[in-house]
Amino acid sequence: MEKADIGLIGLAVMGQNLVLNMNDHGFTVAVFNRTVSKVDDFLQGPAKGTRVIGTHSIEEFIATLKRPRRVMLMVKAGDAVDEFIEAIIPHLEPGDIIIDGGNSLYTDTSRRCEYLKTKKLLFVGAGISGGEVGARHGPSIMPGGHKEAWPHVKPIFTAIAAKVENNEACCDWVGDAGAGHYVKMVHNGIEYGDMQLISEAYSLLKEGLGVSNEELASIFTNWNKEELESYLIEITSHIFQVKDPEGGFLVDKVLDVAGQKGTGKWTVINALDLGQPLTLIGEAVFARCLSALKDERVQASKAYPMEKKKVSGDFRSFAESVKHALYASKIISYAQGFMLMREASKAYGWQINFGAIALMWRGGCIIRSRFLGKIKEAFDKDAKLSNILLDPYFQGEVKKAEAGWRKTVSEAALSGIAAPCFSSALAFFDGFKCQRLPANLLQAQRDYFGAHTYERIDRKRGEFFHTDWAGTGGKASSSTYNA
Ligand code: NBP
């Protein structure tokens, strides 16, 4: 009997489509599912006529695999992954590989790496983005874990992944332990940021300029031909064109309360843990929280009525300013996202390959864009680049967009239109490029009331001073640790 190149457990939407994608690329795949009847449904349905091998028990499943065995799990994240790992361990041999392609929390993946090492098995935690269509025709795949497994997984993953210029696959080794799933989490955080930025541009054009849905579709279609070209800008231009069968445009009938499933929140919590100023994604998550307070917002809108004030300037020039605000803010968001990943790589000892991340996100996933190609180029030129904002290309881009960005943020403030991500991106930029922040005063205040000590500009770093500012305190100071 023909042996399978890889086995996949979990025949829901992602699993089925990945199996068909692997089959298209010449791999023989064995499949299994907790509800075993779904194996037969799959073989008689979408997998009919393929070389997919259906199995009806774990024993049969493992027996059909070539050595070293490659077992991929595409099941619900959490306990289901641990349960399947325990169920297959007794049937595996040292050197066999387990791959978790679900949306697992990176700390779970790191834990599983440690555990499976004690069993002499290899473990890969791979973030997969692109949804159903991506899984079927080319997702972005972000694998991390035990690097010894990579040569055995690479041919399959790079074959099924999305391809960009020069046929480069949107899949590369990310780093050790939970690095792959961590990078997928940050991808989702950046997705929150991109979506909120687009929504702020929409709000300023619609509320501030009174642009119609037809005009919005046309503006976004044009933006998608320039530096903002991306999947999210493209789908946004389509959304503005969809009519409601009951009349009008569908987007105007959608309730303004945004949902969230937690990956943005976890990215921001991690940024706080690592002390990184991930302000834009933070604002994007909070903007969804604020949107959820619909009833209170309606009440407050009556308590603080504001005469509708259109933004100043003509249509064409303000729309251009909004485009610049969107582009510059997007650069800030990615700069912050890469700052976070750099810190995580250091803190967790992962050796993350940043150029590879930009390439993996270039195609297949929700945040895919032309822009990510430029980030890849920046890391190709300088693999040790400390911050995207210090790359010469992005410096030039931010400078070109700066005037329009400032105009947009000030017009938003004057017109009373909330633009939290545009504004916080600009505040971050002004702080980041500021040689001397008012943190000297913060330190003085901390020392005044809590004897927390301060460093001086005219002494070497690491020397701490305490002053009895009011002449009423003692000489004892607090310890100088940072939380
Ligand atoms: P689901 O997340 O809906 O998971 C369905 C699969 O998990 C089925 O095979 C189901 O078996 C199995 N399963 C469940 Br539910 N509970 C189980 C348990 N306690 N023990 C064993 N198996 C269990 O499927 P999906 O949407 O295809 O996603 C698969 C993974 O990929 C998830 O981690 C998801 O977060 C991730 N992901 C999804 C997308 C997407 O767009 N949907 C995109 C990227 C990543 P059953 O058939 O017996 O119920």
Q: Is 288 annotated as a binding residue?
A: yes
Q: Is 454 annotated as a binding residue?
A: no
Residue 14 CA: nearest ligand 1 atom is 27
Residue 10 CA: nearest ligand 1 atom is 9
Q: Are strands 70-73 and 97-100 parallel, antiparallel or unpaired?
A: parallel
Residue 16 CA: nearest ligand 1 atom is 27
Are 282 and 204 in the same domain? Answer: yes
Flag whether pLDDT at 65 surpasses 70. yes
Ligand 1 binding pocket, CB closer than 6 Å? 10-15, 33-35, 38, 74-77, 79-80, 83-84, 102-103, 128, 131-132
Q: CATH no. for residue 475?
A: 1.20.5.320
Are 217 and 333 in the same domain? Answer: yes
What pLDDT was estimated at residue 353?
A: 87
pLDDT in tens, 40-52: 999 999 999 999 9
Could you tell me if residue 373 is inside a domain?
yes
Which of 124, 151, 173 terminates a domain? The answer is 173
DSSP 359-404: HHHHSSSTT-BHHHHHHHHHHHH-TT-S-GGGSHHHHHHHHHHHHH
Are 190 and 336 in the same domain? Answer: yes
Residue of 34, 109, 183 to mutate, ligand 1, most atoms within 8 A of C-beta: 34
What pLDDT was estimated at residue 367?
A: 95
In total, how many domains does the chain have? 3
Domain that holds residue 447: 437-482
User: Would you name the residues annotated as active-site residues?
Assistant: 184, 191
Are 156 and 271 in the same domain? Answer: no
Q: CATH no. for residue 80?
A: 3.40.50.720
Q: Is 224 annotated as a binding residue?
A: no
pLDDT in tens, 160-198: 999 998 899 999 999 999 999 999 999 999 999 999 999
Closest CA to 188 of 268, 108, 74, 113: 268
Flag whether pLDDT at 473 surpasses 80. no
Are 259 and 282 in the same domain? Answer: yes
Could you tell me if residue 397 is inside a domain?
yes
Are 219 and 304 in the same domain? Answer: yes
Are 337 and 190 in the same domain? Answer: yes
Nearest CA, atom 28, ligand 1: 14
Could you tell me if residue 306 is inside a domain?
yes
Are 392 and 471 in the same domain? Answer: no
Which of 123, 140, 173 terminates a domain? The answer is 173
- For residue 68, whether the previous peptide bond is cis, meaning omega lies within 30 degrees of 0, is yes
Are 326 and 364 in the same domain? Answer: yes
Could you tell me if residue 178 is inside a domain?
no
Quote the pTM value.
0.94
CA distance 375 to 362: 9
Average predicted confidence (pLDDT) for the chain: 96
Q: CATH no. for residue 198?
A: 1.10.1040.10
Are 78 and 206 in the same domain? Answer: no
What pLDDT was estimated at residue 308?
A: 67
